[in-house]
Amino acid sequence: MNMINMKDFLKGSGFIQPIWVFVIVITVFFSFMSEYFLSIGNLGNILVQTSTIGLIALGMTFVMINGNIDLSVGAVLGLAASLSVGLQDYGITIAVIAALASGLVLGAINGLIVWKTGVNAFIVTLGAMIGVRGLIFVYTEEQSFYATNFAFSDFGAASIGPFPVLALIFLVCTLVMHLVLKKTGHGRNTFAVGGNPEAALDAGIRIGRHMMINFIIVGFFAALAGVLLATQMGAATPNLGRDYELWTITAVVLGGTKLTGGFGSITGTLGGVLAIGILRNGMNLMQVPAFYVLVILGLILISVLIIDQRLNVHASKGVSI
């Protein structure tokens, strides 16, 4: 066969995303290891448990396809959760709106700084992560908040038939963001900016404004995740959301999104999120200590990055197949 680009071959041949092969393999494995794994209740639990990281990962996918990253999402989640619980004396509606608005504002600030200063997004959002976490401790006075309205905490446990509401919200948001990425001009521009910023600029794409919109999107989803997590717990703590940025980035990278930008998908991210959720849930059913999950995920992530790098090298040179 003639020399061809590996990436084009995989796309053109309908090659299934590797993360979904992994999801299928571990699903089959855990179904044999535990009779409860494939029960409707447990599958619903997996979706609920992964919905928090999953929602953030939807927005992070857009940011990372742009070639950026947002380390502040865990802190934004914590602030939104604290606001949604702490402001309930003014009504649930006002509390939730304030929480979601905090994510939009913080996302806009991150995007604006990256746009106007040209400072690397890693540094900008690292500073935001530290600053917002400090703001949470100032606002909460280092105390946990507990929901005073039972309707708020009841929402986190609500179901429509056999399907948990939080899982349905996550799946609907996943579908919407998949369509935005694949079917809209903003989605196409996301790939263009991440793949070749100079060409995108020549094509008339306002790169700075575009990146700012994606930071706003991930800020919104981090805040939404914070509100929904608070409904599950019926409370918010100052440390809520710590390390969530690492879990989110891991899920997105496992799903095939490149750290250098220009390539990724929502379906891949969904696979990455489910892979983490299935591993944690399955190993818990097997009564394996939780820290082993971290070891396994770390090894998998490193392996994925090594394989991805080698594929890039072969694709750039051309391979004979």
Averaged pLDDT, 243-257: 93
Per-residue pLDDT band for 130 (boundaries 50, 70, 90) equals very high
Q: Which of 20-29, 244-253, 289-298 has the lowest mean pLDDT?
A: 289-298
pLDDT of 307 reads: 74
Residue 4 phi/psi, 5° resolution? Answer: -135, 165
pLDDT reading at 14 higher than 60: no
For the chain, the maximum distance between any two Cα atoms, rounded to a whole number of angstroms, is: 69
Per-residue pLDDT band for 318 (boundaries 50, 70, 90) equals low
Domain positions in the chain:
18-308
pLDDT of 280 reads: 92
Per-residue pLDDT band for 298 (boundaries 50, 70, 90) equals confident
pLDDT of 12 reads: 36
pLDDT of 316 reads: 57
Dump pLDDT digits (tens) for 197-206: 999 999 999 9
pLDDT reading at 230 higher than 50: yes
Dump pLDDT digits (tens) for 137-147: 999 999 999 99
Averaged pLDDT, 159-187: 95
pLDDT reading at 216 higher than 70: yes
Dump pLDDT digits (tens) for 43-101: 999 999 999 999 999 999 999 999 999 999 999 999 999 999 999 999 999 999 999 99
C-alpha span between 223 and 216 (Å, rounded) = 11
